[in-house]
Structure 1
Amino acid sequence: MRPSALDPLFAPATSLDGIGDKIAGLIARLVPTDLTNRPLRVGDLPFILPHSVIDRSRRVAIAEASNGGIVTLTLTVGAHFPPPRGKRNLPYRVMAFDESGEIALTFFHARQVWLEKVLSEGARVLVSGKIEWFNGRASMVHPDHIVAEAEAYQLPVIEPVYPLTAGLSAKVLRKAIAQAMTRLPQLPEWQDAAVQQRLGLPSFDQALKTLHDPGRIEDLSPEGAPWRRLAYDELLAGQLSLALVRQRTRRLTGRPLAGHGRHVAALLKALPYRLTPSQETAVAEIHADMAEGDRMLRLLQGDVGSGKTVVALMAMARAVEAGGQAALMAPTEILARQHHATISRLCEQVGLKVALLTGRDKGRERKALLERLNSGEVDIIIGTHALFQEGVDFADLALAVIDEQHRFGVHQRLAITSKGNAPDILVMTATPIPRTLVLSAFGDMDVSRLTEKPAGRQPIKTVTMPLERLGELVGRLREAVAEGQKVYWICPLVEESENVDVTSAEDRHEALSQVFGTQVALIHGRMSGSEKDSAMASFKSGQARILVGTTVVEVGVDVPDATIIVIEHAERFGLAQLHQLRGRVGRGDKASSCVLLYKGPLGEVAARRLAVMRETEDGFVIAEEDLKLRGEGDLLGTRQSGSPGFQVARLEFHADLLATARDDARLALTRDPELRSDRGEALRLLLYLYGRDDAVRLLRAG
């Protein structure tokens, strides 16, 4: 049960005055958490933090005010000029003056009675807003604040500015947040006193109050104490929930998986190349983990093409040697089929039985496969999330390997855990993740890193080219295709859009088909599985030489003889995504190139992104640059549980707090595994407050 102290914050936002369903829907767009499965709550509003401030302390005379600046003027009200009868579309003007000159205060659709009351002729008032000059005359349209001079104390000197969305006014949002703030209950302190003192953090409610009612501009800085307090709370909640998952997954006692070594040796012999030093290290770390009595929970990080699948295969072979089964789960069907093609070829040579299970398998075939899996006849099964649905039963699942970890959150980790006798878990990602993010999303895991490219891989030459030179590029591709080369051409959209001025995959496919005829294939996410398979097969076989597609080819599509990739409107893609896409080429032994086609003029960030792509192929360098350029935002491609879509924390400012939060969370659970002490009960409140209810359920599940 959720602690009753939090009830006021979990009430629907529509219980606040002036907030109906429509306004709640608009405010929900501003909330940084995922609200797809629940309505907006009162407790969401205080976490909508201001992005800047208006300083209304600047008091000047009319003549000194600069065009477009926000100023506060002390005025004497002069004459009123309402619009003529029947001309409601014309503005209502009130002339006012000070010793330096005159200004027109302009109002559209104004109520005359109200204006005559707040701006009565001859009154002395303070007016604050944006001033504009036309032909030497000053004007202020709809001043933000009007107060009598005697009530100057009512004017906010430092006023927070909130993010807005179409249809929602700043006034309505401010009023809603102010109401929500009055509902904040008195909550016990969940921070460790020594940590709080060392970091110089205020209390939770003091931090929120300062951010929504700042006394100084510095109060709103993400690097200031109030914001750091809330960021640390959020990071601690995240690390605590990861530590609880780790505690729960480890508590289901693992078993030592030590094999006879013959399968692993035979696979190594069957490989057409030697493992790289970092692959050898990763295999050794994984095998050592598997031999322990505790369960393995390890993240294998490796850049595109660094050979993660082979490392995973060595781990799966070890699980089979120890008498168990292994499963490999991929995020898409294309990738699952590709893993199956690669792995089954090698496994056939050493007598390991491999099967493929996807959502497409139906009827008798599916039933027969599930029976073979349940009887233990299948050693290694490869598939999509269909592997962990009801009705899929293993004889003895000893190891689960998950590819592209950022697409699988905490729930999925637990679903897998329930499938076997506490299987070891190895997760792989080709998204190069900066160290700080590894800590935030995977604080419950040990990490292995693959740092080299496999032997024989060629560097990829990356060039940038403006769209104006498209004709020249197509001419060069003609020569490349005539020589037998294969080309990926990536577009940001599937079909033409009225809102975005970019060429879609369908349009580009049509345009290139006029030049290259049937040598151009098309692939995108809206096609059926069989249509995608057919497009891929035609590209792999060489019947098609150019594959036009969207980012559906980003993850794991493997055509070793593709040597050129063109990314159209490269300025619209993030760095991590550009890097993933570029990794589709350079997989064979021929020199490869990546052409980044852009539409100028480029903004500062887009120009830097393209420059980084030209300068380096190192995914980890690229990831660190990406973090600098756009914050942690959506770095991992999705904002699900298990990836850092933070409400308050911004890793470009708060990364230094992560390690402290992880140590703090682990220590708290070592001292109080069930969170029953006074601090433990307070930490439960923190978990609910930051939407980590799953972690509290783990405590209850024991």
Structure 2
Amino acid sequence: MAEVHIPMDRPDYLWPLFAGLETLDGVGPKTAKHYKALGVETPKDLILTLPVGGVDRTRSDSIRDVPLPGMATVSVVIGRHRPPVSRGRPYRIEVEDAKTSFQLVFFHGKSDYLSRILPTGARRVVSGKVELFDGVAQMPHPDHILSPDEAGDIPAFEPIYPLAAGLTQKGLRRAMTAALAEVPNLGEWIDLPLLDQRGWPVWHDAIAMAHAPKGPHDLAASALARERLAFDELFAHQLTLALARASNRKGKGRVTQGNGRLRQKVLESLPFKPTGAQMRAIDEIATDMATPARMNRLLQGDVGAGKTLVALMALLVAVEAGGQGVMMAPTTILAGQHYANLKPLAEAAGVVIEMLSGQDKGAERRAKLAALKRGDIQILVGTHAVFVEDVAFADLRLAIVDEQHRFGVRQRIKLGQKGQGADVLVMTATPIPRTLSLAQYGDMDVSVLDEKPPGRTPVATALVSTARMDEVIDHLRKAVAEGRQAYWVCPLVEESESFDATAAEERAKLLRAAFGEGVVGLVHGQLPPDQKTAAMADFASGKTRVLVATTVIEVGVDVPNASIMVIEQAEIFGLAQLHQLRGRVGRGAAASTCLLMYRPPLGETAKRRLMVLRDTEDGFVIAEEDLAIRGAGDVIGTAQSGLPQFRIADLETQTGLMALAQSAARTLLVRDPKLIGPQGQSARILLILLEQEKAIRLISAG
């Protein structure tokens, strides 16, 4: 891929912000280590760590003017010191404000220190929480003790920052004051009309205002200073993605244009007519492949929307053009499923399709690799085993990655490099809310399958308490006697395959006792690959009628005769996962059922999740609800998802801001593709400031 070469030299005036934290007042090497727990390693990180709360420290004449218990900031005259009379008792100091007297209380107080900072007869301004103890007003361990001439340093509303072990508010504020003194005035990267329209302050002022809130309203995400800083983060991220997209489009792709002959054969062999959404996606992909730019497209489809057919049509474009295609899935089970689904269709078109997995060994593997290198294998389906160095293609034109969120960006790039300028199509069966889609896949063009193919039956979903387990087993016994098949999914006991396996094995034992030995199959992550494959094959062929499984079956498993899905302890699964599991049934002509078994009592959130699932089968509605309930980090699993980690922006509540940032980033690049104009130069500074140059280089390296 051709890189967008944008020099990223850090200007001198930014260096202080990227120095070590030890350059700040009161931060030594030991304290600097404690800051790492907050993700803070430089003064720049510190200034982008905004207050999470605030304390009202408005001056009062007396604690009598403050509702107790409550915060008070008052001027007092120091009275008698009363050191503890026995171990474990507090040190008390009597003080008097304009209207009444009260006590300052110190546990483990040192007499010489307290006599020095609070000498009897002196006037001090103290600020802290006042409470009544045995009818006496007390202020334990005041937050501030200052002489009257220093008291102006106490803000009327004092910001509270997030802390980690070893850090204090006082120490952090001292370091923050030093860091804020290093903040330079920077040029403006936001379009001036947009800045005026939103009423946002310039960057320097926004930083200052965000760290000096006047009240709780200034801590809200909608406060102008915070909103502007959130926009900056989203804008830098979208600019990175837009640069990657521009770079990708300039990237040396290849014109891959088919004559439609093989695709026509497949369409004629289908027992149904593809949906409008499928035909639209097929056209979009074929059009992309026919251009000299390299395709980088995301195919989003709900459970059962028919992505497999779209994928095959894309692979056939590559074959029609005289090249090869590869489709990669995250697990052997899923790769095998894709292979089983694609094989009859590919054969109907007279196309050679093979599967390669880690299970291929010795002579068989060597024969497949040689055929692939000669070009005799036209379509290859595999797991990540296709990344291995010795896998070489004669002419790879298209790489398809299924369930992208389980792969890293680097793996995607590596796959694309197997072919000179191969087009890349990424597929996901997890409908992604618009905000997350913009955050995660903003560099890609998107095709959405939002219609269900004919023949998919609606799935009736019901909530059942675990107390009714015997009824569920009876219901299942009747269904099995009628020739139907069922999945029984066991809960994730904890993030451990061995625990999950135990749960599944126990349940299989119980069901075998109820239905007889040969009726119940078992599949979980701990089984050797050949046993997993055999268990799936027995179920697919109808040899076993009930398949007990962990979430290994979540994605892509296709057994049309299976019409019942039982999910145990459904309340502990995420919405997207429940939706995926339910999508394993409703693939045949029989009326299908999904039973969500839960352990009462249900918490509010769990109840809301299960009700959403009961009430709709629309994956996009479910995804939006999931985002609202769980938040962005959990919806896809941030560690795997490639979702950016923002310090200020909030993906759940600032959907509109993300879309605005994408539009602003793309507009700027259309006007100034090399970022050399005044606004473009300022945008470079933003990318450096938010360390997005790393992302530009990573994505450009693709």
TM over 0.5: yes
Shift in alpha-carbon separation, 1:428–1:700, aligned structure 2, 3 A: closer
Paired residue for 1:243? 242
SS of residue paired to 2:634: coil
SS of residue paired to 2:673: coil
Paired residue for 1:420? 419
Alignment counterpart, residue 28 of structure 1, candidates 28, 31, 36: 36
Deviations 1:312-333 (A, max 9, x none): 1111112111111111122333
The within-5 A match list for 1:581-660 is 581-599=581-599, 602-639=602-639, 642-660=642-660
Unpaired stretches in structure 2, ≥5 consecutive residues: 1-7
In 2, are the aligned partners of 1:464 and 1:610 still within 8 Å (CA)? yes
Q: Cα distance, 1:544 vs. partner?
A: 5.7
Shift in alpha-carbon separation, 1:672–1:359, aligned structure 2, 3 A: farther
Quote the Cα distance in structure 1 between the aligned partners of 2:26 and 2:335.
51
Q: Cα distance, 1:548 vs. partner?
A: 4.9
In 2, are the aligned partners of 1:520 and 1:547 still within 8 Å (CA)? yes
Shift in alpha-carbon separation, 1:22–1:476, aligned structure 2, 3 A: farther
Shift in alpha-carbon separation, 1:175–1:528, aligned structure 2, 3 A: farther
Q: Cα distance, 1:84 vs. partner?
A: 4.2
Say if 2:159 is the partner of 1:163.
Answer: no
Paired residue for 2:200? 201
Paired residue for 1:82? 83
Quote the Cα distance in structure 1 between the aligned partners of 2:296 and 2:645.
23
Quote the Cα distance in structure 1 between the aligned partners of 2:403 and 2:219.
37
The within-5 A match list for 1:527-542 is 529-530=529-530, 532-537=532-537, 539-540=539-540
Quote the Cα distance in structure 2 between the aligned partners of 1:239 and 1:193.
18
Shift in alpha-carbon separation, 1:459–1:179, aligned structure 2, 3 A: farther
Quote the Cα distance in structure 1 between the aligned partners of 2:604 and 2:338.
39
Q: Cα distance, 1:8 vs. partner?
A: 3.3
Paired residue for 2:54? 53
Deviations 1:259-309 (A, max 9, x none): 232211221233333212221222233223333444333222110111111
Paired residue for 1:331? 330
Deviations 1:169-191 (A, max 9, x none): 44444444444434445544333
SS of residue paired to 1:669: helix
In 1, are the aligned partners of 2:490 and 2:549 still within 8 Å (CA)? yes
SS of residue paired to 1:53: strand
SS of residue paired to 1:323: coil
Deviations 1:363-391 (A, max 9, x none): 55444333322221111112234434544
In 1, are the aligned partners of 2:486 and 2:566 still within 8 Å (CA)? no
In 1, are the aligned partners of 2:487 and 2:547 still within 8 Å (CA)? yes
Q: Percent identity?
A: 49
Quote the Cα distance in structure 1 between the aligned partners of 2:94 and 2:508.
64
Shift in alpha-carbon separation, 1:644–1:612, aligned structure 2, 3 A: farther
Quote the Cα distance in structure 2 between the aligned partners of 1:634 and 1:132.
40
The within-5 A match list for 1:304-453 is 304-408=303-407, 410-453=409-452
Quote the Cα distance in structure 2 between the aligned partners of 1:661 and 1:80.
60
Paired residue for 1:210? 209
In 2, are the aligned partners of 1:493 and 1:550 still within 8 Å (CA)? no
Please give the root-mean-square deviation of Cα atoms over the aligned residues, in Å: 3.5
Shift in alpha-carbon separation, 1:10–1:64, aligned structure 2, 3 A: closer
In 2, are the aligned partners of 1:244 and 1:698 still within 8 Å (CA)? no
SS of residue paired to 1:635: helix
Alignment counterpart, residue 506 of structure 1, candidates 498, 502, 506: 502
Q: TM-score, normalised by structure 2?
A: 0.86
Amino acid at match of 1:30: L
SS of residue paired to 1:651: coil
Paired residue for 1:43? 44
Quote the Cα distance in structure 2 between the aligned partners of 1:18 and 1:496.
44
Quote the Cα distance in structure 2 between the aligned partners of 1:520 and 1:69.
64
Paired residue for 1:192? 191
Q: Cα distance, 1:14 vs. partner?
A: 5.7
The within-5 A match list for 1:117-196 is 117-165=116-164, 168-196=167-195
Quote the Cα distance in structure 1 between the aligned partners of 2:134 and 2:617.
56
In 2, are the aligned partners of 1:491 and 1:548 still within 8 Å (CA)? no
In 2, are the aligned partners of 1:239 and 1:440 still within 8 Å (CA)? yes
Shift in alpha-carbon separation, 1:552–1:216, aligned structure 2, 3 A: same
Quote the Cα distance in structure 2 between the aligned partners of 1:141 and 1:467.
51
Q: Cα distance, 1:618 vs. partner?
A: 0.6
Quote the Cα distance in structure 2 between the aligned partners of 1:359 and 1:297.
27
Quote the Cα distance in structure 1 between the aligned partners of 2:103 and 2:544.
69
Query: Is the deviation greater in 248-257 or in 116-125?
Result: 116-125
Quote the Cα distance in structure 1 between the aligned partners of 2:114 and 2:304.
69
Deviations 1:368-420 (A, max 9, x none): 33332222111111223443454433221212222223344554454344332
The within-5 A match list for 1:549-588 is 549-588=549-588
SS of residue paired to 2:38: coil
In 2, are the aligned partners of 1:239 and 1:443 still within 8 Å (CA)? yes
SS of residue paired to 1:634: helix
The within-5 A match list for 1:280-299 is 280-299=279-298
Q: Cα distance, 1:150 vs. partner?
A: 4.8
Paired residue for 1:682? 682
In 1, are the aligned partners of 2:401 and 2:412 still within 8 Å (CA)? no
Query: Is the deviation greater in 240-249 or in 21-30?
Result: 21-30
Amino acid at match of 1:83: P
Deviations 1:542-596 (A, max 9, x none): 6665555544433323343433334444444433333223323323333333333
Quote the Cα distance in structure 2 between the aligned partners of 1:513 and 1:458.
31
Query: Is the deviation greater in 598-607 or in 611-620?
Result: 598-607
In 2, are the aligned partners of 1:437 and 1:644 still within 8 Å (CA)? no
Paired residue for 2:16? 8
Quote the Cα distance in structure 2 between the aligned partners of 1:148 and 1:522.
74
Q: Cα distance, 1:504 vs. partner?
A: 5.7
Say if 2:459 is the partner of 1:460.
Answer: yes
Quote the Cα distance in structure 2 between the aligned partners of 1:19 and 1:560.
64
Q: Cα distance, 1:520 vs. partner?
A: 5.9
SS of residue paired to 1:633: helix
SS of residue paired to 1:428: strand
Paired residue for 1:491? 491
In 1, are the aligned partners of 2:501 and 2:525 still within 8 Å (CA)? no
Shift in alpha-carbon separation, 1:659–1:563, aligned structure 2, 3 A: same
Shift in alpha-carbon separation, 1:106–1:682, aligned structure 2, 3 A: same
Amino acid at match of 2:113: W
Q: Cα distance, 1:50 vs. partner?
A: 2.4
Quote the Cα distance in structure 1 between the aligned partners of 2:430 and 2:61.
53
Paired residue for 1:278? 277
Paired residue for 1:36? none
Shift in alpha-carbon separation, 1:534–1:146, aligned structure 2, 3 A: farther
Query: Is the deviation greater in 310-319 or in 447-456?
Result: 447-456
Shift in alpha-carbon separation, 1:605–1:399, aligned structure 2, 3 A: same
Query: Is the deviation greater in 567-576 or in 421-430?
Result: 567-576
Unpaired stretches in structure 1, ≥5 consecutive residues: 32-38, 498-502
Quote the Cα distance in structure 1 between the aligned partners of 2:523 and 2:90.
55
Paired residue for 2:4? none
Q: Cα distance, 1:641 vs. partner?
A: 7.0
